[in-house]
Structure 1
Amino acid sequence: MMIARVVGSAVATVKDDKLIGLKLLVVREVTPANELVGKPLVAIDAVGAGAGELVLIASGSSARQTTITNNKPVDAVIMAILDSLEVEGALTYVKN
């Protein structure tokens, strides 16, 4: 799993039929100190995440293990929204 922040959304009118109705969000990995790193990627939203939220991402074959992504051409899925993040005793994120 990877910790990431939702930084945008993507809309694709033309797509594989198995992706119809799925919400596409742009996310970027964050460090444990809640700093953006890495390149943006598009992930299917399985939990109703929104802009600015910290989320957990599963990728690869694990991304196809949620109820809405089962047997779909998905490489990344948002599977949890973090309420808080504590690293080495320091609180680095608290959801508003």
Structure 2
Amino acid sequence: MILGKVMGSIWATQKEDGMSQLKLLIIEPINWKGEPAGAPIIAADRIGAGRGERVIVSRGSPARAIFSKNAPIDAVVVGIVDSLEVGEGEE
């Protein structure tokens, strides 16, 4: 799983089977300090994350397991981060 920030949404009127009701988000991976930590990814979202929110994203086969086996999903938002706590002095 990775920590990310929602940059925006993608609208697609034509989608593969199994994706017709899915919202797609552009997610910027971030580190625990909130700094960019990689190239943006596209993730499916069923929990209602919005622009600017920090989210937890699952990738690969665990992400696909949430949906039907035929859905071409490799990243999914699995949580919206309310707060983040990191021990003092850790980097």
Query: TM-score under structure 1 normalisation?
Result: 0.84
| Structure 2 stretches lacking a partner, 5+ long | none
* In structure 1, distance between residues paired with 2:83 and 2:59: 22
Aligned residues: 88
Long gaps (5+) in structure 1: 91-96
The residue type equivalent to 1:77 in the other structure is: V
Task: Check whether the contact 2:28–2:40 (CA below 8 A) recurs between aligned residues.
Answer: yes
Where 1:74 maps in the other structure, the secondary structure is: coil
- Aligned-residue Cα RMSD (Å) equals 1.4
Letter of the structure 2 residue corresponding to residue 81 of structure 1: I
In structure 2, what is the Cα distance between the partners aligned to 1:52 and 1:80?
14
Q: How many Å separate the matches in 1 of 2:9 and 2:87?
A: 32
SS class of match (2:25): strand
Please name the residue that 1:5 is paired with: 5
SS at structure 1 position matched to 2:58: strand
1:30-45 to 2 correspondences below 5 Å: 30-45=30-45
Q: TM-score, normalization: structure 2?
A: 0.88
How far apart are the structure 2 equivalents of 1:70 and 1:54? 26
Higher strand share: 1
Task: Give SS of 1:64's match.
Answer: helix
